[in-house]
A and B are shown apart, each in its own frame.
Chain A
Amino acid sequence: MKKLLVYLKGSRLQCVLAPLFKMFEAILELFVPLVVAGLIDTGIAASDKNYIIKMCLLLVLLGAVGLAFSVTAQYFAAKASVSFVKRLKHAVFEHIGKFSYTQLDSAGTSTLITRMTGDMDSVQNGLNLTLRLLLRSPFVVIGAMVMAFTVDSKAAITFAVIIPALSVVVFGIMFFCIPLYKKVRFALDKVLCTARESLTGARVIRAFCKEDEQVKEFKERNDALTVIQEYTGRISALMNPITCVIVNIGIAVLIYAGAIRVDAGLLTQGAVVALYNYMSQILVELVKFANLIISITKSVACAGRISAVLETPVENDDGTEKISAESENIVEFRNVSFAYDGAGDYSLENISFTARKGETVGIIGSTGSGKTTLVNLIPAFYRATKGQVLVGGSDVTEIPLEELRAAVSVVPQKAVLFKGTIRKNMLWGKPGATDEEIMKALEAAQAAEFVMQKDGGIDASVEQGGRNFSGGQRQRLTVARALIKKADILILDDSSSALDYATDAAMRKAIAEWQGDTAVFIVSQRTSSIMHADKIIVLDDGCASVGTHEELLKNNAVYREIHLSQFDEEESA
């Protein structure tokens, strides 16, 4: 939490001025009952009309100056909170950018997004309120008490009793309710979950005729939510009535105590009115204060979540090694083992192989055998738990990330495009690429034909996530994006799964022509996609066997089984 305060630095002055001006305004407000008392005691008692007019003008003046102070305070508060959140957003976005995959996996992207959006808004709102009001309310309450004491210290003792009593009630109810609000949130999440399921799983639910059960489950969760909401409501609804009772009893006592003092000639009637007014002011402020605390508590919870993101340590990127151009083996695995965070077992175990420049390496294996994990180790998306991964002769953990990533081009399994145009997406691969280069890459990826059919060709717009393209089209575009980068290493992670065999074959042929010195890694479930590779790595439960198609077919039972599952014996013979 404290870490976040750093981002207030540029707004220090505003953070002091906003509450300060609010305080000035509050002081002015405290003068009002005094002016009214004068109005009664001097003006009315002496029938001095001039004095009365003067006092009323003074009231207007107090209001006007108060307005000016208040507007100034609002401006500083708004400015400070908005700038604070801007700096914070920048910092968090940058920090998340440095997260390793392991951290990203454990944090979960959806929560990170909520923290960047909803939580930030709440913090902005909370800070704004805090600067404006947090100091004001206690100041008015205590100020009213102090003023009451200056009017008459004996009668004002009532204040000294009432204020602590009120505080106990307000804070007591609040602290009781805050955990309840969390429960409400939780119950609401459950309702949300069922509602979403009914939509995302509509086909399955209907296929199994589970509609009524979904409604029943929803009703149960909805009822549970209503029960907890009503309970919370009943308790928080106690606040106003109880404070009201306390203050009114205080007023009765105050008038009585004042009356005794007036009777003894120690106090005037106007002073009693002033005391009465101070008591009313306290009531109004306390209610405001309680509401304020509730919103601030929510903001603090959000700030805590944001802070947790910022406090997640990121791995250092202080490698100094270079990727050597001379190195014969562009990629080398030396006894590499890898386990995901929190996983009991290794996903990859003791894997060693080398890939030379210009070589094609095929990677095949069952679902969950670790194919993607293996290729993710090359650009150091994850780091090996044991052993070494070398690129260009240097350990990947010692190469600056920027240099390493520039040397590796990846087509991930999930074909994602970014909002913008096709051209803009292609420029991700190579900033400043010419139309010609883009077209060449699109052609190699077998994407040129459908791109040209689009309105605008390579300038056709792309919706978020590439929704306006089919799965196969997206896959081909992501391949083109990787090809245009012309990196030393190209990784195709099952990037033709949505393509029919003919297109897949044409694309592989085009890539082979384009390849040159680039080492290409092809992850696939089809043996036909990799059987011509220089080297094939067969993964089975995290263990690897390396060889050519012919060798593996002869010596490796797993490979043979995979192959035969796709080709009839006669065909593969």
Chain B
Amino acid sequence: MKKKMNKGTLKKILFYVGRYKVHLFFSIILAALSVAMTLYIPVLAGKAIDLVVGMGRVDFEGMMPCLIGIGILALLTAAAQWIMNTLNNRITFRVVRDIRNAAMKKIQILPLSYIDSKPSGDTVSRIISDADQFADGLLMGFTQLFTGVVTILGTLGFMISINFKISLVVVILTPLSLFVARFIAKRTHSMFMMQAKTRGEQTAFTEEMIGNKKIVDAFSREEKTLEEFDEINERYQKYSLKAIFFSSLTNPSTRFVNSMVYAAVGLTGALAAVSGSITVGGLSCFLSYANQYTKPFNEISGVIAELQNALACAERLFELIEQQPQTPDAENAAVLQNVDGRVEMKNVAFSYSKDKELIKNLNLSVESGNRVAIVGPTGCGKTTLVNLLMRFYDVDEGEISVDGVDINGATRESLRKSYGMVLQDTWLKEGTVKENIAMGKPDATDEEIIAAAKAAHAHSFIKRLPNGYDTVISDEASGLSQGQKQLLCITRVMLCLPPMLILDEATSSIDTRTEIRIQKAFSTMMQGRTSFIVAHRLSTIKNADVILVMKDGNIIEQGSHDELMKKEGFYCELYNSRMDASV
């Protein structure tokens, strides 16, 4: 099963690598060339040493071509190696770049259900860390695995050409180091797992306690927390020591195997030299081959582990890239333009998960220009309604139409452009204040932007920011309060003014005094625009044309404020509960 998956992943990787066929081809040629030349240098050195027999018996003339040959080969090898490395770098980085781009493209068309259900950190780490580790593995594979294999084959050939019997000794003994490495790796795997698990535990604990230090302080829990931390720390140290120590045995152990090979070559070689079947230069050359032959074996076990890791990372990346995207817009999808804003919902059913039904049989008809307020207790489906209107989620059954057009038959872009949306969850893009405001209307003039900001009562605080409208802000580190962020989100919609509006708890973080002022601006804005308002402050929705009272996914009451109050139903109860406070 695992093997099969790897095979599939390998195929996908090859697809991306395939774009750089020419690079790859030259890289392979250069690798073979540089290995061959590297291996030929000791032959020349051996030949030269053979000419240095003893006092007065040195053949300087015969030696010179060898020595000059060494110099020239060294230069050529260097050039080949450098070009090869550059090519490998290029292939790796570009392959990763292409995969990242593909992943990013995918994110834009993933259904929101995927984005809502997966922690964003996990997806980001796929695009960033997994891709990075994949690149590392790929690069190592290209440079080390390939040259390693070529080196092994090459040295083997050269050794056999010098002396077959001694070569046999090397060939038989060297795989020992592989066994040793595998033996150790198997034993240490579980220790690494324990180390990783404890590290995760420690990170989570640190995050929790430092992230919420204010609460830790408030309850004077510093000492207790430190104690708990120490306990995890102690365990981490224990596992870490084991993992580090046992895994670090690999290197000395394989080196020991290598020195045994070296000694065996020395023994058989020297005995052969005594019997005259090999020269001294040949032996010195052979010894240096034996060294070069064993080295890749030590590295290969590491490279294979790295490659496996790279494959696992690639798999996570491809998993993201291959996610089922949202159903694409139909080819003949209608393009909504300058809509009047008649919204109708017919027998709509929807739920986030199959086993928990939420909205059933929802019917609603909104006239153009109507102001619709949606109220109800938490979890009753208010925000879900917004999700369906904007087509962030598609309905399971029934139909939602705008101006009589089924929104599933219209392009998402045209539908969403018809709405202006302000959510409780304020989100700003990294960029200047101005860029954020002009998100829906990139060609807006400064005057328009400032006018919109004034209407949203954001102008006065923007003015006081270090660089005014050109201050760079981002979602996380902006120094803006939640309320200020919300004001910017409102300004964003004030500027582009689409024909329909959705305000989902749009003023929840703003104090009521400012809210009243914004409500006034909203009122002018909503003039002639169909608008949907979700709020739990009842005072803000009293003027709505229709109030939808939702409970457990259904609209249980519907009507104007006065009608609903007369009915003395759930709405009336909700409204009066606020009054209780003042009694």
Contact = CB atoms under 8 A, between A and B. Distances in A.
A208 B267 contact: no
A251 B270 contact: no
B204 A464 contact: yes
Interface stretch (B4-12, B104-112, B362-370): B104-112
Nearest to A258: B52
Interface string A171-190: 00000000000000000100
A109 B211 contact: yes
Contacts of B338: none
Interface stretch (A323-331, A363-371, A388-396): A363-371
Interface string B53-84: 11111101001000110110111011101100
B104 to A, nearest CB: 4
> How many of chain A's residues touch chain B, expressed as a range?
35 or more
B214 A191 contact: no
A202 B429 CA distance: 11
B378 A470 contact: yes
B427 A204 contact: yes
Interface stretch (A157-165, A510-518, A565-573): A565-573
A460 interface: no
A233 interface: yes
A113 B210 contact: yes
A299 to B, nearest CB: 14
A191 B124 CA distance: 10
Nearest to B116: A202
B539 A567 contact: yes
Nearest to A96: B210
B41 interface: yes
Interface string B464-489: 00000000001101000111100001
A240 B81 contact: yes
Contact of B45 (A36, A199, A201, A255): A255
B293 interface: no
Interface string A394-421: 0000000110011011101000101100
A262 B52 contact: yes
> How many of chain B's residues touch chain A, expressed as a range?
35 or more
Contact of A245 (B74, B100, B208, B421): B74
A571 B263 contact: no
B253 A67 contact: yes
A408 B220 CA distance: 10
A32 B287 CA distance: 12
Given A66-B259, A195-B104, A225-B97, A52 B271 contact: yes
B525 interface: no
A206 B416 contact: yes
A565 B512 contact: yes
Nearest to A62: B259
Contact of A222 (B101, B120, B510, B512): B101
A353 interface: no
B128 interface: yes
B582 A528 contact: yes
A428 B392 CA distance: 41
Interface stretch (B221-229, B327-335, B351-359, B443-451): B221-229
B481 A368 contact: yes
Given A44-B274, A79-B241, A269 B220 contact: no
Contacts of B377: 500
Interface string A491-527: 0000000101110110010000000000000000110
B297 to A, nearest CB: 15
Interface stretch (B149-157, B242-250, B550-558): B242-250
Given A113-B210, A199-B115, A368-B481, A86 B280 contact: no
Contact of A367 (B79, B291, B484): B484
Given A262-B55, A528-B582, A83 B237 contact: yes
B457 to A, nearest CB: 11
A504 B577 CA distance: 9
B568 interface: no
Nearest to B489: A204
Nearest to A281: B291
B259 A412 contact: no
A43 B206 CA distance: 65
B55 A197 contact: no
B376 to A, nearest CB: 10
A127 B422 CA distance: 52
6 smallest CB-CB distances across A and B, nearest first, come from A63-B259, A367-B483, A265-B55, A241-B78, A233-B89, A248-B74
30 contacts: A52-B266, A59-B259, A64-B256, A67-B252, A78-B248, A90-B229, A97-B225, A194-B104, A196-B124, A202-B112, A208-B440, A212-B108, A214-B104, A218-B104, A230-B90, A244-B77, A245-B74, A248-B73, A259-B51, A259-B63, A262-B52, A262-B58, A272-B49, A273-B280, A367-B509, A464-B208, A505-B577, A531-B582, A562-B512, A566-B537
